[in-house]
Chain A
Amino acid sequence: MSAKLDQLLSNLQTALGAKITQHILALDEVTIECQASDYLAVCQILRDDHRLKFEQLIDLSGVDYQDYGAEAYTGLRYAVVTHLLSVSLNQRLRLRVFAQDEHFPMLPTLVELWPVANWYEREAFDLFGIMFENHPDLRRILTDYGFVGHPFRKDFPVIGNVEMRYDPEQQRVIYQPVSIEARNNVPRLIRNEGAHAK
């Protein structure tokens, strides 16, 4: 297994060279990172190079790294992580790219390379507010019509901001601020002592 992954990694390095800013080989998976400005070019090579041949975009997800780890997180906040699969060469790859601007995260779209990216990018836009440049149809996809905010960002409350109910006086469905309270019985905890020491 690991010989195959080493081969994949060396193929990636020959094909992409300095465009790879970081590479990780862990848990039998290869992860590479690249700059947002190289993103499209890297993906083009990943799909078309004869040693890589990643024909399929399996998954594309947004990540908000704001609260990552026990200490204050200092890196860039938004990332897009894609999982690629090569059916012909039977190999997988994870590609992570960080959006440079925290207030207006923007990345180029992959729709031209893999049409399936269309909906995945709409999802990442809807849930994380990541913009995709030149996307043909960047609408919300999972949330309600007229939804405000991006619910999977770490600063968005789990209980939401508004709730919907039928108002018998106005005889229509209205939105109002949530009436429930956030409840968390098990605190989030990172231990660094004992069996969990690094």
Chain B
Amino acid sequence: MNFGPQHPAAHGVLRLVLELDGEVIQRADPHIGLLHRGTEKLAENRTYLQSIPYMDRLDYVSMMSNEHAYVMAIEKMMGLEVPIRAQYIRVMFDEITRVLNHLLWLGAHALDVGAMTVFLYAFREREDLFDCYEAVSGARMHAAYYRPGGVYRDLPNQMPQYAVSPLRNAKTVNRQNQNRQGSLLDFIDDFTQRFPKYVDEYETLLSDNRIWKQRTVGIGVVSPERALALGMTGPMLRGSGVAWDLRKTQPYEVYANLDFDIPVGVNGDCYDRYLVRMEEFRQSNRIIKQCVDWLRNNPGPVITADHKVAPPDREGMKSNMEDLIHHFKLFTEGFHVPAGEAYAAVEHPKGEFGIYMISDGANKPYRLKIRAPGFAHLSAIDEMTRGHMIADLVAIIGTQDIVFGEIDR
């Protein structure tokens, strides 16, 4: 039987060819590639800077995490120092991105299994976080905010506010602007104080919900050994009880300075993975809070001063010949990365997202390989669904947190 590609539970463009015995799945063969855009090939034909926006479009629900791995690979090869403030900003936005991603996962997963309300709740919070994205980068989703050597610009001192219009009267606008009076950091701080309550709300709706448990407990069980062999990473691996998180085990940026815990599951079923991700909400919230506190007290540069990589400021460019040359070279030819190869991985909300880059010294990468966590997870769907009913397949697709932008690349 054909499942998808146009099916609301197929999360985009998954086409599954199922072999069934009655309602029991004997074999599941995913046909992927319907969203294949050849990002890796495109990157080989563009300068390093031009490929950053393509990274947003890989996993289009956790945009900045993708950028992070990409800029980290470039920084590793060039030996660039990232200012500490930029590192904190990156970590803060990585965690905001994790919350964004998990909110979409939670909403979609619950919707697939039959709970409509959670979806609406989740999107309410996503809206606030998109506003944070918009405040720093100007784009709600595809930010292109991380740059080799730092981030594009510092956090704004004023959070954008709603204005009165024929659609919104003064009373509504006042209410909407209540937490937007201060800077972006104040807005995020306000969010971190509200958010734990929201997570409690989701948990009230689901954690002890009889239907939710019937649909997820004991479904799609993966043992720790199989999870490793099947290349699972992130919450899929931790749900099976393997305490592995790159933020702890191979810390990058400033994760080593921050205080947070790694939740792990016990049974390796859909319900445990749900619990792991719910706890990650709370831990991410903790990290965001710590970053906000640090960023308030520590001003400084947010991008490297090496103008061979990062553009000089406008003022310098208009008054200083050398800065003008740097700017011109940077945005026409682009910078050159020394010959060699590097693999940089981040703990993406879905698992290990890695960029393997080969350079031959040119202004464009020679080869860019994107290691997408979803690709390995989806390849395990055959093993995970065997012997389950079709309805459980939907729960398993939900628990894998599949997004086709990264799988098809």
Contacts and interface: CB of A to CB of B under 8 A. Distances in A.
A and B are interacting partners:
yes
B130 interface: no
B341 A190 contact: no
A31 B38 CA distance: 27
Interface in B45-91: 45-47, 50, 76-77
A64 B366 CA distance: 9
Given A59-B369, A142-B32, A114 B231 contact: yes
A197 to B, nearest CB: 11
Contacts of B356: 59, 61, 81, 83
12 contacts: A55-B229, A58-B233, A58-B345, A58-B352, A59-B354, A59-B369, A83-B343, A83-B371, A90-B250, A141-B33, A144-B33, A152-B41
Given A29-B342, A94-B343, A118-B379, A57 B362 contact: no
Given A68-B360, A158-B41, A186-B47, A26 B231 contact: no
A191 interface: yes
Contacts of A118: 379
Contacts of A195: 308
Nearest to A87: B244
Interface residues of A, number: 46
A70 interface: yes
A140 B375 CA distance: 15
A170 B211 CA distance: 51
Interface in A18-61: 26-29, 31, 55-59, 61
A131 interface: no
Contacts of A158: 38, 41-42, 45
B25 interface: no
Contacts of B137: none
Interface of A is mostly: loop
Contacts, number: 119
B361 A58 contact: no
A30 to B, nearest CB: 11
A81 to B, nearest CB: 7
A149 interface: no
Given A115-B231, A115-B383, 11 more contacts: A26-B340, A59-B356, A81-B356, A94-B341, A142-B36, A188-B362, A190-B361, A190-B362, A192-B361, A196-B336, A196-B361
A114 B369 contact: no
A189 interface: yes
B353 to A, nearest CB: 11
A184 interface: yes
Contacts of A57: 231
Interface string A110-124: 000011101110000
Interface string A168-198: 0000000000000000101011111001100
A134 interface: no
Name the 3 nearest CB pairs between A and B, nearest first.
Answer: A116-B231, A142-B33, A119-B379
A70 B361 contact: yes
Interface string B183-206: 000000000000000000000000
A64 B45 CA distance: 15
A186 B334 contact: yes
A146 interface: no
B332 to A, nearest CB: 7
A17 B358 CA distance: 27
A141 B31 CA distance: 7
Contacts of A63: 358, 367
B304 to A, nearest CB: 15
Given A68-B366, A83-B343, A115 B47 contact: no
B234 to A, nearest CB: 12
B49 to A, nearest CB: 10
B253 to A, nearest CB: 15
A114 B226 CA distance: 10
B358 A141 contact: no
Contact of B360 (A69, A90, A120, A196): A69
B376 A119 contact: yes
B363 interface: yes
A59 B358 contact: no
B104 interface: no
B363 A186 contact: yes
Contacts of A92: 343
Contacts of B342: 27, 29
A90 B233 CA distance: 14
Given A83-B356, A186-B46, A189-B363, A116 B371 contact: no
A191 B371 CA distance: 29
A143 interface: yes
Contacts of B383: 115
Nearest to B409: A142
Interface string A56-85: 111101011001111000000000010100
B343 A186 contact: no
Interface string B359-392: 0111110110101000110111001000000000
A137 to B, nearest CB: 9
B229 A114 contact: yes
B184 to A, nearest CB: 34
A190 B375 contact: no
Contact of A184 (B41, B45, B249, B332): B45
A61 B357 CA distance: 11
